[in-house]
C-alpha cells in the first residue's frame, strides 16, 4: 500500500476500510508491496493486491457494493493484459472529488497470446478510457475559465488533458476575423456547414479518438450546437434547417456542460449583450440539448472555483455511470410501475398521434429530458416544462407541476439529485432545488432551495439537513454526484 504524506486522514481511513472489506468477501487475494502501474501514478492513495484468477470476476460487484455503503463511486476500470486498475472516488470537505486506486494483479498469470493482445487493443479502441466534454454557454458565463482549469489540471482518471476551440481545426486552422459579422450568402453558408462536418469527422478519427484511447480528457470550448443558438456569431443567417439536419452526423461528446447564468448577471459581466439577447441565449442553450440525458446544467452565477468544483463532480458522475454500464453492474435505481414505463416511453419518442393520446389518458404533459432513474410511482397529472432540468434519482409524485412563471415563459426550474417532490407541489420560475431537498405535498416553490432542506406551504423552509454539504459557509449547489441509500457501514 502506498500513501502520500499530504493525503487526508479520511482518505487513508477509506483505503484501510476497503482492504478490510475485501477480507470479509470470498475473494482470494494477498496485499502486495509492489509498486503500482504508471496508470495510477497521479493518485495519492494506491493499494496493490494479487487475486486468484477464479475469483477475479467477483471483484467489480464487491467494489460497487463497498462504494454504495460508503458514499463513494467506482469511476474507472482499466485493463492491460493480466493487470487491472479500479479507481474509486468520493467528495472531500471542499466538495471536490478525491480518488484512490486499487491495482489488481492476477496470480500466476501467463503471458497473453498475440490474439489476446490484439483483442485488448481493439477493446480499448472501442471503449476508450478518455472523455470528450463539450462546454457551451454565453460569453461572460465563465465557460472559458473553467475550460482552462480542466485543461491545465486533469483529474486522476486521465493521464492528460487537451483543450479544443469549437472544432479540431483540421481544415482551415486559421480562424475567421471575430469582428466580422457580415452574414454569408446561401452558397457560402452551405459550404461553411459542410466544412464543419468534414472537420469534425476527420478531426475526431485523426486526433480526438487516439487521445481518448490514450486516457486523455478532451475539453471543447463551444461545439457545433452553438450554431443553432447563435448563428450570427458564425456569420450564418440562413440554412439553419440544414445545420439542424447535419447535427446527427457530427460526433457527439459523452458529456455536455451547459453554463447557465441569469440574464441580469450576464449583463453585468458583458455590457455588450442586451437584456433581450441575454434572455434569448439562456433559453436557447437550455432548449438545444433538452432531449439528451448526458447534460449537466451548471450554476454559473456562483464563484468560478465553485463552478469548477461542480464541473469536476459532473465529470466524475459521468465516469461512474459509464463504468457501471461497461462492467454490467446492477442498476440500483428505483423501480417504476408499468404505467410509468408506458408514459415515459411515448414521451421520450414522440410517436405521432399515439404520444398525444397517452398524454391525454394519463393527464400528463412531459416535454423535458428525464434521466433513466427518475421515480414516478403514480404518473398522473404531471406537467413538466420543456426546459426544466431534472436530476438523477428524483421522485415525482402525482399532480406535480414544474414550469415557468408569468412573464418569464422560457425559463424553468433546475432540480438537483435525490430530490423528493410531494403530490400536488408547484415549482415555478427560475429556481434551483438543491440536492437531497424535500418538497412537501401541495407546496409552492418560487425561490432557490438549499440542499437537504424541507419545504412546505408557500416557500417555507421548515428543516435543513445537518449533513448537507457546505462550501465556504454556503450550501453547495446542484451537482450530478449521487448519494447512495443510507446503510450501516461495514465493520
Taking only the tens place, the pLDDT of each residue in 428-473 is 988 889 888 999 999 999 988 888 899 998 888 886 654 444 433 3
Count CB neighbours of 151 within 10 A: 17
Phi, psi for 247 (deg, rounded to 5): -55, -45
Where does the pLDDT of residue 421 fall: very low under 50, low under 70, confident under 90, or very high at 90 and above?
A: very high
Where does the pLDDT of residue 490 fall: very low under 50, low under 70, confident under 90, or very high at 90 and above?
A: very low
Q: How far is CA 124 from CA 77, 99, 335, 354, in A?
A: 11, 22, 33, 42
Write down the pLDDT at residue 482. 38
Q: Residue 313 belongs to what H/E stretch?
A: helix 304-327
CATH 2.160.10.10 boundaries in the chain: 338-475
Write down the pLDDT at residue 34. 67
Please give the CATH topology (third level) of the domain spanning 127-327: Rossmann fold (3.40.50)
Query: Which residues share a beta bridge with 134?
Result: 220, 256
User: Is pLDDT at 417 greater than 80 in this prediction?
Assistant: yes
Q: How much of the chain, in percent, has pLDDT values that exceed 90?
A: 17
Phi, psi for 195 (deg, rounded to 5): -65, -40
Rounded CA separation 263/433 (Å):
19
Where does the pLDDT of residue 408 fall: very low under 50, low under 70, confident under 90, or very high at 90 and above?
A: low
CA 2 to chain CA mean position, Å: 30
The per-residue DSSP string of 95-136 comes to S-EEEEEEEEEETTPPPPPHHHHHHHHHHHHHS-SSEEEEEE
The arithmetic mean of pLDDT across residues 50-70, rounded, is 84
In this structure, whether the domain defined by 338-475 belongs to CATH 2.160.10.10 is answered with yes
Count CB neighbours of 275 within 10 A: 11
Is 60 in contact with 478 (CB distance < 8 Å)?
Answer: no
User: Is pLDDT at 475 greater than 50 in this prediction?
Assistant: no
User: Is pLDDT at 135 greater than 80 in this prediction?
Assistant: yes
385 vs 263, residue with greater confidence: 385
Write down the pLDDT at residue 31. 79
Write down the pLDDT at residue 111. 60
CATH 3.40.50.300 boundaries in the chain: 127-327
CATH 3.30.460 boundaries in the chain: 9-116
CATH class of the domain comprising 9-116: alpha beta
User: Is pLDDT at 217 greater than 90 in this prediction?
Assistant: yes
List, for residues 10-41, the tens digit of each pLDDT value.
Answer: 778 888 888 888 888 877 777 777 655 555 55
> Any idea which of 300-304, 311-315, 318-322, 464-468 has the lowest mean pLDDT?
464-468
DSSP 248: G
Write down the pLDDT at residue 483. 39
300 vs 421, residue with greater confidence: 421
User: Is pLDDT at 391 greater than 80 in this prediction?
Assistant: yes
Classify 405 as helix, strand or coil.
strand
Is 73 in contact with 67 (CB distance < 8 Å)?
Answer: yes
The arithmetic mean of pLDDT across residues 256-265, rounded, is 84
Rounded CA separation 321/324 (Å):
5
List, for residues 147-187, the tens digit of each pLDDT value.
Answer: 999 988 888 889 889 999 888 888 765 555 555 566 677 78
The arithmetic mean of pLDDT across residues 413-439, rounded, is 90
Alpha-helical regions (H) of 185-248: 186-203, 209-213, 226-229, 240-246
Identify the CA nearest to 407 among candidates 299, 263, 261.
Answer: 263
> Any idea which of 8-12, 50-54, 346-350, 452-456 has the lowest mean pLDDT?
8-12
Q: How far is CA 342 from CA 261, 359, 365, 385, in A?
A: 35, 10, 14, 19
Phi, psi for 164 (deg, rounded to 5): -135, 135
Identify the CA nearest to 218 among candidates 202, 199, 203.
Answer: 203
Identify the CA nearest to 432 among candidates 473, 474, 466.
Answer: 474
Q: What is the 3-state secondary structure (H, E, C) of 70-91?
A: CCCEEEEEEEECCEEEEEEEEE
Write down the pLDDT at residue 476. 39
Q: How much of the chain, in percent, has pLDDT values that exceed 70?
A: 82
Identify the CA nearest to 197 among candidates 254, 245, 140, 138.
Answer: 245
Q: Buried b / exposed e across 292-331, counting CB within 10 Å, b at 16+?
A: eebbbbbbbbbeeebbbbbbbbbbbbbbbbbbbeeeebee
Amino acid at each position: 500500500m502506498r500513501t502520500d504524506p499530504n493525503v487526508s486522514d479520511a482518505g487513508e481511513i477509506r483505503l484501510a476500510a476497503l482492504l478490510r472489506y475485501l477480507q470479509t468477501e470470498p475473494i482470494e487475494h494477498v496485499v502486495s508491496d509492489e509498486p503500482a502501474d504508471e496508470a495510477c501514478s497521479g493518485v495519492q492513495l494506491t493499494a496493490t493486491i494479487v487475486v486468484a484468477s477464479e475469483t477475479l470476476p467477483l471483484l467489480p460487484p464487491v467494489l460497487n457494493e463497498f462504494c454504495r455503503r460508503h458514499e463513494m463511486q467506482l469511476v474507472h476500470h482499466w485493463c492491460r493484459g493480466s493487470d487491472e486498475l479500479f479507481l474509486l472516488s468520493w467528495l472531500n470537505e471542499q466538495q471536490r472529488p478525491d480518488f484512490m486506486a486499487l491495482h489488481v494483479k492476477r496470480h500466476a498469470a501467463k503471458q497473453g497470446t498475440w490474439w489476446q493482445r490484439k483483442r485488448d487493443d481493439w477493446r480499448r479502441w472501442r471503449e476508450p478510457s478518455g472523455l470528450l466534454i463539450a462546454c457551451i454557454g454565453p460569453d461572460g458565463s465563465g465557460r472559458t475559465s473553467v475550460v482552462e482549469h480542466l485543461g491545465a489540471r486533469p483529474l486522476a482518471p486521465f493521464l492528460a488533458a487537451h483543450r479544443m476551440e469549437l472544432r479540431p481545426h483540421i481544415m482551415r486552422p486559421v480562424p475567421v476575423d471575430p469582428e466580422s459579422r457580415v452574414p454569408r450568402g446561401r452558397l457560402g453558408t452551405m459550404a461553411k456547414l459542410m466544412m464543419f462536418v468534414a472537420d469534425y469527422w476527420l478531426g475526431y478519427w485523426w486526433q480526438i479518438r487516439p487521445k481518448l484511447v490514450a486516457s486523455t480528457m478532451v475539453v471543447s470550448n463551444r461545439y457545433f450546437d452553438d450554431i443553432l443558438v447563435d448563428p450570427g456569431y458564425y456569420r450564418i443567417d440562413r440554412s439553419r434547417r440544414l445545420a439542424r439536419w447535419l447535427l446527427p452526423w457530427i460526433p457527439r461528446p459523452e458529456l455536455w456542460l451547459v453554463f447557465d447564468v441569469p440574464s441580469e448577471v450576464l449583463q453585468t459581466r458583458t455590457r455588450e449583450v442586451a437584456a433581450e439577447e441575454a434572455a434569448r441565449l439562456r433559453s436557447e442553450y437550455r432548449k438545444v440539448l433538452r432531449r439528451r440525458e448526458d447534460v449537466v446544467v451548471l450554476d454559473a452565477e456562483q464563484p468560478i472555483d465553485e463552478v469548477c468544483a461542480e464541473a469536476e463532480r459532473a465529470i466524475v458522475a459521468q465516469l461512474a455511470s459509464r463504468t457501471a454500464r461497461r462492467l454490467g453492474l446492477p442498476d440500483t435505481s428505483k423501480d417504476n410501475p408499468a404505467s410509468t414505463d408506458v408514459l415515459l416511453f411515448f414521451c421520450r419518442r414522440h410517436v405521432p398521434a399515439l404520444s398525444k393520446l397517452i398524454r391525454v389518458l394519463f393527464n400528463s404533459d412531459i416535454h423535458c429530458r428525464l434521466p433513466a432513474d427518475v421515480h414516478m410511482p403514480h404518473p398522473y397529472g404531471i406537467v413538466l416544462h420543456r426546459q426544466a432540468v431534472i436530476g438523477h434519482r428524483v421522485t415525482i409524485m402525482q399532480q406535480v407541476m414544474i414550469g415557468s412563471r408569468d412573464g418569464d415563459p422560457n425559463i424553468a426550474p433546475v432540480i438537483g439529485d435525490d430530490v423528493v417532490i410531494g403530490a400536488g407541489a408547484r415549482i415555478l420560475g427560475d429556481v434551483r432545488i438543491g440536492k437531497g431537498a424535500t418538497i412537501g405535498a401541495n407546496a409552492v416553490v418560487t425561490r432557490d432551495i438549499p440542499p437537504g432542506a424541507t419545504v412546505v406551504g408557500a416557500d417555507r423552509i421548515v428543516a435543513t439537513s445537518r449533513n448537507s454539504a457546505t462550501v465556504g459557509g454556503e450550501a453547495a449547489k446542484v451537482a450530478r454526484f449521487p448519494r447512495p441509500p443510507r446503510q450501516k457501514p461495514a465493520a
